[in-house]
Amino acid sequence: MQFATPRGMSRRHFLNHMAVGGAATLGASQFLQHLQANAAEVQKNQRACILVWLGGGAPTIDMWDLKPESKNGGDFKPISTKGDLQICEHLPEIAKVMDKMSVVRSMSTREADHTRGTYFMHTGYVPNPTVVHPTFGSVVSYELGAKRKDLQIPAFVSVGGGGMDPGFLGMSNAPFVVDAQGRIQNADMGQDAGRLGQRLTMLEAVEDSFINSKRGDSGKAHKDIYIKARDLMTSTQMEAFRVDQEKPEVRAGYGSTPFGDMLVMARRLVEKGVPFVEVRNPNGWDLHNDVFNTLRRTNLPNLDKGIAGLVNDLKARGMFENTVVICMGEFGRTPRINQNTGRDHWAQSWSVLAGGGGLMGGRAIGKTDADGLRIESESYLPSDLWATVAHSLRIPLDTVHTSKNGRPMKIANGGTPIKDLIG
Amino acid sequence: MNLVRFLALSMVSTVLCFSVAEAADGKSDRPVRGGDPVVDEINKYLRQGWTDNEVEPSPEADDSEWLRRVYLDVVGHIPESGTVEKFLSEKNSGKRRELVSELVEDPRFVRHMTTVWANVLIGRNAPDRTSREGLEKFLRESFAKNRPWNEIVYDLLTAEGHFEQNGAVNFILGQLTGNPNRDDYAVEATAKATKIFLGMQVQCTQCHDHPFNDWKQNQFWEFNSFLRQVRRRDVDKYDAASGRNVDDYSELVRRDYEGPVYFETRQGLMKVAYPKYFDKEIDSGKKTNRRQQLAEVMAKSDGNQQVARAFVNRTWGHFMGYGFTRPVDDMGPHNPPSHPELLDFLTEEFVKSNYDVRQLVKWICNSEAYHLTSQFNPKNEIDNPSIGEIPLFSHMYVKALTVEQLYDSLIVATNADQAGKGSYEDAQRQKEVWLREFMRIFGGNEDDEPTLFSGTIPQALMLMNGDLTKQAISPDKGAFLTTVLSSPKLRNDNQRIQALYISALGRIPSRAEYAKIEKVMRQAPSPIMAYQDLYWALLNSNEFVLNH
């Protein structure tokens, strides 16, 4: 495993070295106090969001909103849960924690193309050729990142693959992408900490004249990033990425699968104070063929243990009330089952799982008709979902960002928090 | 390393070092820039702006500062060490103007312009079933022949056919997705074409009259109606290996469309729009080739010369860090330019030159403002557009390197692609791998003025610890650093340090810098490590990643 903890030198030695070299902005003792202030208590009260992304578009009609009486119903039976709703029989562990989570059954989002749907669900905006809207993790990073003074990990981490665009909020709010094993590219210099210190000291000697030469702020901005990169490379917080340090029984609670471990990592990151973590479910959900076998054999058991494990673990650590958990993909799938026993893309009436962070649990919010084709209640957009998350994270809903071409943009596209979720 | 000897040597200035130090002190002769009537006019307009705003321009940049800048802006990467040494030692007072003339004729200028415009037209991540290679080939051939800009625009607007055989189709192809029978099929193409070629942002008027510019909703749809006779055709082929159909090629074809387009106002009223470019109406019958008509009026007979104006504004922004408007592609009465008369004048001259792209570049690069140092002076501190002030161009603005400039500059500074024993093909393959990584980590499609370092931690980590940097400072035989350190021409540490500075930063270190570096080098466990740290620091420095 690639990892950035300094080797061959104690942390204290390293910090002293840095201080002597003149590259450290914080003295060693100050720095250590900082670390102590990082104790669990501080982060416990910090709000966070974990987005579990089911890329490809999950068949929510088979998961959260079953239609057993309809020809669209498919193979699965509903089962009762600890909440006031029924879900799929292949999600028995989630059923046990369903008093804590709710299902919004009336999402209606009109974008049934993967790229457009992914964009819409992440940003709350439909794609527009001339503005790139920030994915909501970037919004949270922008709003809360600077307030987490002790946080050395970037404020928006994406676990398990491609991140989304920070848009007009800029690359400093881009997702910090790590793979499923928590490996961070280029985090290791392959040298001991002494060399890192030596190099940064040299860097300062080389570039100070430019910074001091009155050419504007770019030089300083560059230096700030290097300080952040150095802090990250040497930070004890990097342990958050090391799921292998977790007790085996904790990992077992999440199913001991790659997906389960990604969620363990998300919880560890939130514990360190990271306000937004996106976890990409490694199973493919674009189920045009053989939907029921795929769900039964792999996708659902994997999801079931992972989500239930996450909810239980957050609860056990007293973090659930401060951590919103959202589980969704870019759209649902057609109620009609196609000739390949699959379902195609469907954005008109589908479901999202949400809970934690003070949101109501155990509820089915919104209603689709008997065949799952139409919504028979108020329908919701991704903007409403993100407004709900913003509400939970205590980000004011009247926040406005300005795009690069000067257009004012309401946070979460001016959506309204979903009443039945916020209680 | 023998540190005593190093110290002693670092006290002795070389002849080269001395002459540059003198230039930096402002004692050397300041060559008269200009001599071309257009350049003289540019200078006049800018000077007027300085006087009116009571600022004084910064001194002229020294040769190394200017050389690095003109290389990055015109050919897309830093100058090679040999170029730097040669340029610094030349005494000819016309050498800067000569160099500009040489560089715009250089194939690397064509390559750089191709990259810049492919990014503007379809973005760094080409949309699905769009051929970036095809578009690049079209641009490369156009810039290589120095075709007039309005003809290039004409082709991009009217092209039909296969996306590799006629690469110009890719601009519109890249904007077309979804159902061709839907009203919004050509909406993105409309928004992009007006934004890029006319410098006008009309996308908001798709749904309503613009809140703060002159565009009305009907104008958006009038413009859009020109682009209704277009459709993409995606052709698949059977792949025997997988037994499935896979992408083959795409093409842009003409489709029948006649009559007006319909749009809905915010109040729910349906309205019609006929093809109309500002006040010029086009026959909406079936026989009219609307795109051709649009291209005619836009690129060839527009009394407002908006295509020329938009290009001048964007090109000025490319070289000077800021255009006359901000952003460069949002022009109009709601957003007055910083130097309206200069913009008019340059637009006029650009049209008179028959839209000569190289000539425009030469005018800008020979202007007085382009030669100023990027250092503020006490009398022009208010000229700071990065905090929202109107640019006065009284000093050069610092620009962040684009990902392509950064990557190519790293290759130039390190010869990293040539290290190792592999063949030319292996080296090319390695370069591709690195470039893909760079694109992933530095990429992004932000096409606004890159005036601030948009640094992120992954970017910093890549420059600190990535393979390219590792390769550059590797102690292995054949690696760049090893080559420099073992060069028989470099006889002492002073010369070696200087060689590294020239190859990374294009300049000679000052005496104070020698002293500081020496002090740090002394702490290194071995001489080779000291040099590795130095070169690592040079490649990671702000001065390296910024174009100043």
Question: Model confidence over B9-39: pLDDT tens digits?
Answer: 333 333 333 333 333 433 334 455 557 999 9
* Residue B114: partners with Cβ closer than 8 Å, 6 or more residues away: B136, B139, B140, B143
Residue B154 and residue B290 share a domain = yes
Domain ranges, residue A405: 46-182+242-421
Which of A208, A217, A228 faces B457 most closely, judged by CB atoms? A228
Does residue B43 lie in a domain region?
A: no
CA atoms within 13 A on the CB side of B263: 23
Residue B280 and residue B193 share a domain = yes
In angstroms and rounded to an integer, the radius of gyration of the C-alpha atoms of chain B is 26
Local confidence band at B242 (pLDDT 50, 70, 90 cut-offs): confident
Cβ separation A225–B459 shorter than 8 A = yes
Please state, in angstroms and rounded to a whole number, the distance separating the CA atoms of residues B491 and B383. 45
CATH number at residue A363: 3.40.720.10
Please state, in angstroms and rounded to a whole number, the distance separating the CA atoms of residues B90 and B376. 27
Does residue B18 lie in a domain region?
A: no
Burial B416-430 (b: 16+ CB within 10 A, else e): bbbbbeeeeeebeeb
Q: Which residues of B touch A203 (CB under 8 A)?
A: 536-537, 540-541
Q: B151 to chain A nearest CA, in Å?
A: 25
Say if strands B230-239 and B244-254 run parallel, antiparallel, or are unpaired. antiparallel
Cβ separation B188–A129 shorter than 8 A = yes
Over the stretch A20-44, which tens digit does the pLDDT of each residue have?
Answer: 333 334 444 444 444 444 545 555 5
Q: B499 to chain A nearest CA, in Å?
A: 15
Nearest CA in chain B to A201: B520
Separation in Å, CA A192 to CA A233, B78, B520: 11, 32, 17
Specify the residue for token string 């957009």: A381
Residue B290 and residue B154 share a domain = yes
Nearest CA in chain A to B454: A171
Among residues A34, A54, A223, A213, the alpha carbon closest in space to that of A122 is found at: A54
Nearest CA in chain B to A203: B537
Residue B470 and residue B429 share a domain = yes
Nearest CA in chain A to B452: A218
Residue B524 and residue B430 share a domain = yes
Specify the residue for token string 């890719």: B170
Which of B330, B386, B464 faces A216 most closely, judged by CB atoms? B386
Over the stretch B69-85, which tens digit does the pLDDT of each residue have?
Answer: 999 999 999 999 999 99
Residue B249 and residue B225 share a domain = yes
Does residue A23 lie in a domain region?
A: no
What's residue A162's pLDDT?
66
Cβ separation B456–A132 shorter than 8 A = no
Residue B224 and residue B252 share a domain = yes
The count of other CB atoms within 10 Å of the CB of residue B241 is 6
Does residue B123 lie in a domain region?
A: no
What's residue B476's pLDDT?
84
Residue B407 and residue B542 share a domain = yes
Cβ separation A206–B523 shorter than 8 A = no
Q: Which residues of B touch A177 (CB under 8 A)?
A: 458
In angstroms and rounded to an integer, the radius of gyration of the C-alpha atoms of chain A is 23
What's residue B419's pLDDT?
52
Does residue A303 lie in a domain region?
A: yes
Cross-strand bridge partners of residue A301: none
Please state, in angstroms and rounded to a whole number, the distance separating the CA atoms of residues B92 and A144. 57
Does residue A17 lie in a domain region?
A: no
Among residues B184, B151, B185, B189, the alpha carbon closest in space to that of B170 is found at: B189
CB B174 within 8 A of CB B196: no
Local confidence band at B500 (pLDDT 50, 70, 90 cut-offs): very high
Does residue B81 lie in a domain region?
A: no
The number of distinct structural domains making up chain B is 3
Residue B504 and residue B424 share a domain = yes
CB A380 within 8 A of CB A418: yes
Domain ranges, residue B498: 403-547
Cross-strand bridge partners of residue B239: B244
Over the stretch B309-349, which tens digit does the pLDDT of each residue have?
Answer: 999 999 999 999 999 998 899 898 888 999 999 999 999 99
Residue B271 and residue B235 share a domain = yes
Which of B203, B460, B523 faces A129 most closely, judged by CB atoms? B203
Which of B400, B460, B533 faces A199 most closely, judged by CB atoms? B533
Question: Which SS3 state, helix, strand or coil, does residue B324 take?
Answer: coil
Cβ separation B465–A407 shorter than 8 A = no
Question: Which SS3 state, helix, strand or coil, does residue B237 take?
Answer: strand
Over the stretch B262-295, which tens digit does the pLDDT of each residue have?
Answer: 888 888 888 889 888 888 888 888 889 999 999 9
Among residues A143, A131, A148, A173, the alpha carbon closest in space to that of A400 is found at: A143
Burial A92-102 (b: 16+ CB within 10 A, else e): bbbbebbbbbb
**In the predicted model, is pLDDT for residue B472 greater than 90?**
no
> Residue A59 has which token pair?
């068949």
Q: A279 to chain B nearest CA, in Å?
A: 19
Local confidence band at B2 (pLDDT 50, 70, 90 cut-offs): very low
Among residues B19, B96, B11, the alpha carbon closest in space to that of B507 is found at: B19
Question: Which SS3 state, helix, strand or coil, does residue B261 take?
Answer: strand
User: What number is the average pLDDT over the span B206-230?
Assistant: 80
Q: Where are the alpha helices (DSSP H) in B25-148?
A: 37-52, 63-70, 81-89, 95-104, 107-122, 132-144
User: What number is the average pLDDT over the span B142-147?
Assistant: 98
* Residue A24: partners with Cβ closer than 8 Å, 6 or more residues away: A15, A18, A31
Local confidence band at B216 (pLDDT 50, 70, 90 cut-offs): confident
Nearest CA in chain B to A164: B444
In a mutational test of the B interface, the residue from A17, A119, A130, A212 whose CB has the highest number of chain B CBs within 10 Å is: A130
Please state, in angstroms and rounded to a whole number, the distance separating the CA atoms of residues B323 and B312. 9
In a mutational test of the B interface, the residue from A222, A223, A289 whose CB has the highest number of chain B CBs within 10 Å is: A222
Specify the residue for token string 């094993």: A181
What's residue B12's pLDDT?
36
Cross-strand bridge partners of residue B272: B262
Q: Which residues of A touch B204 (CB under 8 A)?
A: 407
Interface A–B counts its CB contacts (< 8 A) at 170
Q: A199 to chain B nearest CA, in Å?
A: 5
Instruction: Give the helix, strand, coil percentages of chain B, each rounded to 5.
Output: 55, 10, 40
Mean pLDDT value across chain B: 87
Q: What is the pLDDT along chain A (423 residues), one digit of tens a residue?
A: 333 333 333 333 333 334 333 333 444 444 444 444 454 555 557 999 999 999 999 999 999 999 999 999 999 999 999 999 999 999 999 999 999 999 999 999 999 988 889 999 999 999 876 678 999 999 999 999 999 988 999 999 999 876 678 888 877 788 898 999 988 888 877 777 788 899 999 999 999 989 889 988 888 888 888 988 998 888 999 999 999 999 999 999 999 999 999 999 999 999 999 999 999 999 999 999 999 999 999 999 999 999 999 999 999 999 999 999 999 999 999 999 999 999 999 999 999 999 999 999 999 999 999 999 999 999 999 999 999 999 999 999 999 998 876 788 999 999 999 999 998
Does residue B213 lie in a domain region?
A: yes
The number of distinct structural domains making up chain A is 1
> Residue A401 has which token pair?
């960002």
Residue B425 and residue B523 share a domain = yes
In a mutational test of the B interface, the residue from A126, A142, A186 whose CB has the highest number of chain B CBs within 10 Å is: A186
Local confidence band at B454 (pLDDT 50, 70, 90 cut-offs): low
Q: A260 to chain B nearest CA, in Å?
A: 25
Cβ separation B376–A216 shorter than 8 A = yes
Does residue B77 lie in a domain region?
A: no
Which of B327, B444, B536 faces A171 most closely, judged by CB atoms? B444
Q: B265 to chain A nearest CA, in Å?
A: 19
Cβ separation B465–A216 shorter than 8 A = no
Nearest CA in chain A to B523: A198
CB A263 within 8 A of CB A281: no
Residue B437 and residue B459 share a domain = yes
What's residue B5's pLDDT?
40
Which of B195, B375, B456 faces A172 most closely, judged by CB atoms? B456
Does residue B368 lie in a domain region?
A: yes
**In the predicted model, is pLDDT for residue B222 greater than 60?**
yes
Q: A96 to chain B nearest CA, in Å?
A: 40
CB A232 within 8 A of CB A153: yes
CA atoms within 13 A on the CB side of A162: 8
Show the CA angle centred on residue A156, arms to residues A154 and A157, nearest 5°. Answer: 90
Which of B327, B397, B460 faces A405 most closely, judged by CB atoms? B327
User: What number is the average pLDDT over the span B198-212?
Assistant: 75
Q: B312 to chain A nearest CA, in Å?
A: 19
> Residue B289 has which token pair?
């080739």
Please state, in angstroms and rounded to a whole number, the distance separating the CA atoms of residues A414 and A398. 8
Cβ separation B524–A198 shorter than 8 A = yes
Would you state the torsion angle of the CA atoms of residues B455, B501, B535, B486, taken in this order, to the nearest 10 degrees?
160
Does residue A332 lie in a domain region?
A: yes
Cβ separation B457–A213 shorter than 8 A = no
What's residue B26's pLDDT?
38
Nearest CA in chain B to A154: B457
Cβ separation B191–A129 shorter than 8 A = yes
